[in-house]
């Protein structure tokens, strides 16, 4: 259960949103939408605990994430704007090091499997600097396959730079993850259909009004 209580966010003395409230029970796909510059990424960073809100708090299973810290991050996988890929490491090394540093060591077989499923088979020993944007994005997304047991995924524009098959594969993965009773929060400008049992939407209004609406979507669509 991911809860947001009276959240207020300011960036550079400009108020992005205030008094934001919503609750996403386990097994929810939370989609955050709205025009550029309205605070979507800031909201995700607050949800992760990277950014401190001006007021309000984010709760994970009823407890403030800024107090939970490592106990919360153990449950969380964040794929941000930045891929977190080192140019001077190979694809395999990147994924392995990332898993180790995140505190989720994975076996060599599991890493190979993740790279295969994300479509990087055959590139394992290639330096990341020689890969395309889309392929670097895939290294970042392979982390999701390595940490399928993490109950919360927070994804910032995961579909950018991916090709059609990549988008389809990722949306299936997200749908399956939600079906297993996990929570996925994502920001995306593309209306990619994702089949999930329970969906919720946080809509940021444009025009600097800071208005936000949180609605539940019909599960059938």
Contacts to other proteins by CB under 8 A: 48-52, 70-71, 73-74, 76, 78, 80-89, 93, 97-98, 100-105
Instruction: Supply the minimum distance, in Å, between the C-beta of residue 178 and other proteins.
Output: 21
| Alpha carbon distance 138, 142 (integer Å) | 6
Beta strands in 35-87 (DSSP E): 55-60, 63-64, 76-79
Instruction: Supply the minimum distance, in Å, between the C-beta of residue 82 and other proteins.
Output: 3
Q: Which is nearer to other proteins, 31 or 136 (CB)?
A: 136
- Give every strand in the sheet of 2-11, ordered side by side: 14-24, 2-11, 55-60, 63-64
Q: Which is nearer to other proteins, 106 or 194 (CB)?
A: 106
The residues, ordered by sequence, that sit 6+ positions from 105 with a Cβ below 8 Å of its Cβ are: 99
Instruction: Supply the minimum distance, in Å, between the C-beta of residue 47 and other proteins.
Output: 11
Q: Give the number of C-alpha atoms closer than 13 A to the C-alpha of residue 144, restricted to the C-beta side.
A: 30
Instruction: Supply the minimum distance, in Å, between the C-beta of residue 12 and other proteins.
Output: 12
Q: Which is nearer to other proteins, 75 or 196 (CB)?
A: 75
Q: Which is nearer to other proteins, 82 or 164 (CB)?
A: 82
Q: Which is nearer to other proteins, 41 or 200 (CB)?
A: 41
Instruction: Supply the minimum distance, in Å, between the C-beta of residue 103 and other proteins.
Output: 4
Enumerate the β-bridge partners of residue 153: 77, 184
The residues, ordered by sequence, that sit 6+ positions from 146 with a Cβ below 8 Å of its Cβ are: 95, 99, 104, 106, 110, 111, 114
């Amino acid at each position: 259960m991911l809860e947001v209580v009276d959240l207020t966010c300011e960036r550079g003395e400009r108020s992005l949103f205030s008094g934001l409230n919503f609750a996403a029970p386990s097994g929810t796909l939370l989609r955050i939408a709205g025009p550029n510059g309205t605070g979507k990424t800031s909201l995700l960073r607050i949800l992760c605990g990277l950014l401190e809100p001006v007021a309000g708090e984010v709760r994970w299973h009823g407890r403030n994430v800024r107090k939970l810290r490592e106990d919360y991050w153990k449950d969380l996988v964040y794929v941000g704007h930045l891929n977190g890929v080192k140019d001077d490491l190979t694809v395999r090394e990147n994924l392995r090091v990332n898993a180790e540093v995140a505190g989720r060591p994975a076996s060599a077989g599991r890493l190979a499997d993740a790279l295969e499923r994300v479509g990087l088979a055959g590139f394992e020993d290639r330096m990341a600097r020689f890969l395309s944007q889309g392929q670097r994005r895939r290294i970042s997304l392979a982390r999701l396959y390595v940490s399928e047991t993490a109950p919360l995924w927070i994804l910032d524009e995961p579909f950018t730079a991916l090709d059609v098959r990549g988008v389809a594969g990722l949306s299936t993965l997200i749908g399956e993850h939600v079906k297993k009773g996990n929570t996925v929060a994502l920001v995306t400008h593309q209306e990619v259909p994702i089949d999930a049992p329970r969906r919720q939407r946080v809509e940021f209004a444009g025009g600097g009004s800071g208005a936000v609406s949180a609605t539940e979507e019909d599960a059938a669509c």
